[in-house]
């Protein structure tokens, strides 16, 4: 007869690690790729925050004596056509990517939550109007809408954040609306109503916290795509203006003509974008598995 060792089975399922560091340790062991993603993200944030201390050159200083220098001990990743240090520009570029990524995701998610909650909870004509607006916003590809918006608002950091945040609203509001519609029928909402709580208070205190898990999953998933969109906008010359060292812009300056002569100008900014987005995607996937077990696959 087979003997089942319940203790080891429970341990494997994480029953011993219910909270605190032990729980974190268990999750890290279980979601290796997610942990890897988290490490990349932490590195990315740390680089952005301490850019001034870890780069030896100023990212904006032009040095015409050392134009297009290949990677060397003095310039780890080489210099660009103005003699600016590529390593310094990539490190400072992390700030822009992080600012746009977090800024537009937060703005898009906040507006999306407001629209989704109002739409799902108030229903009626509010829902109808918001649904139509969502339809309209979703009929244009993210990049097309963001391109037209940055062209309309003018190139600046703030405007790029707004231009990327607006197309995110429908994605978030759809999920929040669907969740709200389901939650509205739950007994605890009825209970809150029966003791005379106001609709706004029920929506904010009871319905909203219950939609947080899918919201976090969605926001992390969108973080990578906002970073990619900023890079695309800047690559096309309609995003962050000069002289800010945006990763996408670095590739646009160095595009096709440097493919032959200065490959380091093409390789390194692209690696930076891909690594940052890869990290957020890995982490986002693990987070979805942890917070939303129904989608686990």
Based on the shown chain and the rule CB under 8 A, indicate whether residue 96 belongs to the binding site for other proteins. Answer: no
| 34, 282 Cβ separation under 8 angstroms | yes
| CB closer to other proteins, 189 vs 265 | 265
Identified binder of other proteins from the candidate list 266, 290, 291, 292, rule CB under 8 A = 266
Phi/psi of residue 107, each to 5°?
-65, -50
CA dist 104 → 26, 146, 168 (Å) = 32, 11, 8
Q: Residues 170-209 vs other proteins: string with x where CB under 8 A?
A: ----------------------------------------
Based on the shown chain and the rule CB under 8 A, indicate whether residue 148 belongs to the binding site for other proteins. Answer: yes
Based on the shown chain and the rule CB under 8 A, indicate whether residue 13 belongs to the binding site for other proteins. Answer: no
The runs of H, that is alpha helices, within 31-155 are 32-49, 51-54, 86-122, 124-138, 142-153
| Contact region with other proteins (CB under 8 A), list: 19-27, 97-105, 183-191, 252-260 | 252-260
Nearest to 117 by CA among 201, 219, 222, 223: 201
| CB closer to other proteins, 3 vs 256 | 256
Based on the shown chain and the rule CB under 8 A, indicate whether residue 48 belongs to the binding site for other proteins. Answer: no
| CB closer to other proteins, 57 vs 264 | 264
Q: What is the rounded CA–CA span in Å between residue 154 and residue 148? A: 10
Based on the shown chain and the rule CB under 8 A, indicate whether residue 144 belongs to the binding site for other proteins. Answer: yes
First-to-final CA distance of the chain: 33
Identified binder of other proteins from the candidate list 10, 54, 74, 151, rule CB under 8 A = 151
> At its nearest, how many Å lie between other proteins and the CB of residue 73?
24
Q: What is the rounded CA–CA span in Å between residue 237 and residue 253? A: 9
Torsion sign over Cα 121, 126, 131, 136: negative
Based on the shown chain and the rule CB under 8 A, indicate whether residue 297 belongs to the binding site for other proteins. Answer: yes
CA dist 99 → 74, 102, 107, 231, 232 (Å) = 29, 5, 12, 12, 16
Contacting positions for other proteins (CB under 8 A):
33, 132-133, 135-136, 139-144, 147-149, 151-154, 224, 228, 231-232, 235-238, 248, 251, 255-256, 259-260, 263, 266-267, 270, 273-275, 277-278, 281-282, 285, 295, 297
């Amino acid at each position: 007869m087979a003997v089942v060792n319940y203790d080891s089975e429970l341990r494997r399922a994480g029953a011993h690690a219910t909270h605190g560091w032990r729980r974190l340790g268990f999750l890290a062991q279980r979601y290796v790729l997610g942990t890897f993603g988290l490490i990349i993200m932490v590195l990315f944030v740390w680089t952005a925050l301490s850019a001034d201390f870890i780069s030896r050159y100023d990212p904006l200083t032009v040095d015409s004596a050392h134009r297009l220098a290949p990677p060397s001990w003095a310039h780890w990743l080489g210099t660009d056509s103005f003699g600016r240090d590529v390593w310094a520009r990539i490190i400072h570029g992390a700030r822009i990517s992080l600012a746009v990524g977090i800024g537009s995701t937060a703005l898009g998610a906040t507006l999306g939550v407001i629209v989704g909650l109002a739409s799902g909870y108030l229903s009626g004509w509010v829902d109808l109007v918001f649904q139509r607006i969502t339809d309209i916003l979703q009929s244009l590809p993210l990049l097309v809408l963001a391109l037209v918006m940055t062209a309309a608002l003018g190139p600046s950091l703030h405007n790029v954040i707004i231009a990327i945040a607006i197309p995110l609203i429908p994605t978030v509001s759809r999920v929040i609306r669907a969740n709200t519609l389901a939650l509205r029928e739950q007994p605890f909402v009825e209970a809150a109503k029966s003791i005379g709580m106001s609709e706004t208070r029920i929506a904010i205190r009871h319905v909203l916290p219950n939609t947080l898990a899918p919201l976090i999953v969605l926001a992390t998933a969108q973080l990578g795509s906002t970073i990619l969109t900023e890079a695309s906008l800047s690559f096309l010359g309609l995003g962050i203006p000069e002289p800010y060292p945006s990763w996408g812009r670095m590739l646009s300056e160095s595009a096709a003509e440097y493919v032959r002569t200065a490959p380091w100008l093409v390789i390194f900014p692209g690696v930076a974008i891909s690594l940052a987005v890869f990290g957020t995607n890995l982490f986002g996937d693990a987070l979805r598995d942890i917070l939303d077990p129904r989608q686990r696959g």
